């Protein structure tokens, strides 16, 4: 019996020839720019949906892990050398009913990143660019496959993650001001937050922010102190985020 099954399975013959599926990873890369949430999309060079917009992604290779595949595809299609921000798995979709060519399982991932530069057009790969999330969700922009649903799920995940984890800082650079961090929360939640209360809460949460001693300059108004993530709150590649904000940075109640 060359193909044995993994689990007891009374379905007739199902264990003799387990079906095999192509598996892709897709990455919903989110950033904050211009006061709004943006998603990274590529122009498809091939059918189906040729010329349309889609999430960066591609096939998982034999012997490869999901996270590695997502990081590899993102690097290939955007030209980033080191993965910026925080990458985590979102959820899987399929395999039935999502690709016109047949069953394809995709494992969607979520990247929260600062506004990094992406590949210019004319390169070997497709042109990649940031687009407002609201345009995708409102249907102003069309995206391939079930990618609108995936993006909607990703945004919802990002929203709820921000309250309890230090992941808001994943959208900022290494050092940032409290106002920049606040802009992230306002963009993701689509609300306005009181700058004074946010400042108190962000700086007053133990284990969240660390004062660098440096100051921002060049902007209007009084210079702001520059912070970085405290060591216990830093997220490392592949590890789940451990630090929890308690009390959370609450989003206003609906």
For residues 52 to 71, the per-residue mask of contacts with its own copies, x marking binding by CB under 8 A and - elsewhere, is --x-xxxxxxxxxxx-----
Write down the residue that tokens 């206003």 correspond to.
Answer: 252
For residues 159 to 198, the per-residue mask of contacts with DNA, x marking binding by CB under 7 A and - elsewhere, is ------------------xxx--------------xxxx-
Question: Smallest distance, Å, CB 203 to DNA?
Answer: 6
Rounded to 5°, angle at Cα 134 from 131 and 135: 60
User: Is residue 218 close enough to count as binding DNA by CB under 7 A?
Assistant: yes
User: Is residue 219 close enough to count as binding DNA by CB under 7 A?
Assistant: yes
Residue of 30, 73, 110, 167 interacting with its own copies (CB under 8 A): 73
User: Is residue 252 close enough to count as binding DNA by CB under 7 A?
Assistant: yes
Give backbone dihedrals phi and psi of 213, rounded to 5 degrees, phi first: 90, -25
User: Is residue 225 close enough to count as binding DNA by CB under 7 A?
Assistant: yes
Report the distance separating Cα 130 and Cα 219, nearest Å: 25
Report the distance separating Cα 130 and Cα 37, nearest Å: 9
Question: Smallest distance, Å, CB 246 to DNA?
Answer: 9
Kindly give the pairing relationship between strand 53-54 and strand 36-43. Answer: antiparallel
Tokens of 161: 């993650």
Q: Which stretch binds its own copies (CB under 8 A): 22-30, 174-182, 189-197, 208-216?
A: 22-30
Size of the site for DNA (CB under 7 A): 26
Question: Smallest distance, Å, CB 248 to DNA?
Answer: 7
Task: Identify the sign of the CA torsion 132, 134, 137, 140.
Answer: negative
DSSP state of 177: -
Size of the site for its own copies (CB under 8 A): 57
Can you tell me whether residue 198 is helix, strand or coil?
Answer: helix
Residue 90 makes CB contacts below 8 A (sequence gap 6+) with: 28, 108, 109, 110, 150, 153, 154, 157
Q: Nearer Cβ to DNA, position 97 or 221? A: 221
Task: Identify the sign of the CA torsion 240, 242, 245, 247.
Answer: positive
Binding site for DNA (CB under 7 A): 177-179, 194-197, 199-201, 203, 215, 217-225, 247-248, 250, 252-253
Binding site for its own copies (CB under 8 A): 4-11, 14-15, 18-24, 42, 44-47, 54, 56-66, 73, 76-77, 89, 91-97, 99, 101, 103-105, 107, 124-126, 246, 253-254
């Amino acid at each position: 019996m060359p193909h044995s099954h993994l689990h007891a399975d009374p379905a007739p013959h199902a264990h003799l020839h387990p079906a095999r599926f192509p598996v892709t990873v897709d990455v919903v890369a989110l950033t904050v720019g211009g006061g709004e949430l943006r998603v990274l999309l590529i122009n498809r060079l091939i059918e189906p949906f040729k010329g349309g917009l889609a999430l960066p992604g591609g096939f998982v290779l034999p012997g490869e892990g999901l996270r590695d595949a997502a990081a590899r595809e993102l690097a290939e299609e955007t030209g980033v050398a080191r993965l910026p921000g925080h990458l985590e798995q979102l959820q899987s979709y399929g395999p039935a009913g999502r690709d016109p060519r047949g069953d394809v399982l995709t494992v969607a991932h979520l990247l929260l990143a600062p506004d990094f530069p992406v590949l210019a057009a004319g390169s070997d790969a497709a042109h990649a660019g940031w687009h407002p999330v609201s345009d995708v969700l409102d249907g102003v922009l069309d995206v391939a496959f079930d990618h609108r649903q995936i993006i909607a799920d990703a945004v919802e995940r990002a929203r709820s993650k921000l309250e309890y984890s230090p992941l808001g800082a994943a959208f900022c650079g290494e050092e940032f001001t409290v106002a920049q961090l606040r802009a992230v929360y306002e963009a993701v939640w689509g609300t306005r937050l009181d700058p004074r209360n946010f400042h108190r809460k962000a700086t007053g949460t133990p284990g969240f922010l660390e004062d660098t001693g440096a100051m921002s300059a060049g902007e209007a108004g009084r210079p702001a102190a520059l912070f970085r993530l405290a060591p216990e709150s830093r997220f490392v590649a592949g590890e789940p985020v451990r630090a929890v904000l308690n009390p959370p940075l609450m989003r206003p109640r609906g």
